[in-house]
Amino acid sequence: MLLLPRLLLPHRLLAVAGAGAGAALPGRLSCRRTPASTMSSSAAARHPLRGVVFDMDGTLTVPVIDFPAMYREVLGGDEAYAAARAAGGGAVDILHCIESWGPDEQRRAYEVIARFEKDGLDRLQIMPGASQLCGFLDSKQIRRGLITRNVKTAVDLFHQRFGMIFSPALSREFRPYKPDPAPLLHICSTWNIPPNEVVMVGDSLKDDIVCGKRAGAFTCLLDETGRYGPHESLSEDVRPDFKVSSLSEVLSVLEDHFNLAPVVSESRI
């Protein structure tokens, strides 16, 4: 199937939930819209949406993995960690860092990563609002998929604990992994849905949002703590279409900005 690049239509929505000067939406907790998004949210201008793809750690599950500690141990101390951060513009892509290492060094690194991930699994908790959001997607017949840089066993355990299945659910055994758009394009292809009718939701700007943007999907950054600062301050190449501070707000974004009951066009049948 030919996957079309995202259409940059005039009604393209650029909205921030949880920020901006818009009035609080009735019946919802804290989702706010910018005046611009309010103007563009009329039913006629809404873009069809047929799938949502989620990151797992820190998005569908509460973040419990101590990534800085993991990176320090894998890289060999504070100095090496600081150098990797500087090289990555403040962020570390640990899987990329170790790709060029020798087999023994790589094995040791993967053992450290696996130990941190296992500790995380032992304390795995479902993110508040995840069940409600998935129930909402089911009620609208919107598909849901998952892409994680974690391993398949972690995804299996997540499915077991969560009780709802994401399909496809791609772990880091699927190469190349995020931020490469390949896993997201693979999911869209499996669904037979163009990327511009899909939203990628995740808590990592450098992995989830970049993956979504490169694939031509809509993107929604989950920033629970406000660590990324104001939406406007993010550079354009990584700026998500939406920024929220909870999964409940994702539900509001979907309801308010998309057509969630799109008719399947004949060309796709």
Where does this chain bind Mg ion (CB under 5 A)? 55, 57-58, 203-204
Nearer to Mg ion, 13 or 244 (CB): 244
Nearer to Mg ion, 185 or 222 (CB): 222
Residues annotated as part of the active site = 55, 57
CB of residue 220 vs Mg ion: minimum separation in angstroms? Answer: 13
Return the residue nearest Mg ion (CB atom): 58
CB of residue 135 vs Mg ion: minimum separation in angstroms? Answer: 22
Q: Which long-range contacts (CB under 8 A, 24 or more apart) does 149-157 make?
A: 149/95, 149/177, 149/178, 149/207, 150/56, 150/57, 150/117, 151/114, 151/117, 153/121, 154/56, 154/57, 154/117, 154/120, 154/121, 155/56, 157/121, 157/124
CA angle 150, 135, 126 (to 5 degrees): 35
What type of residue is 269? I
Give backbone dihedrals phi and psi of 86, rounded to 5 degrees, phi first: -65, -40
CA 203 to chain centre: 6
CB of residue 204 vs Mg ion: minimum separation in angstroms? Answer: 5
Give the whole-angstrom CA distance, residue 181 versus residue 9. 21
Nearer to Mg ion, 18 or 58 (CB): 58
CB of residue 209 vs Mg ion: minimum separation in angstroms? Answer: 11
Nearer to Mg ion, 57 or 197 (CB): 57
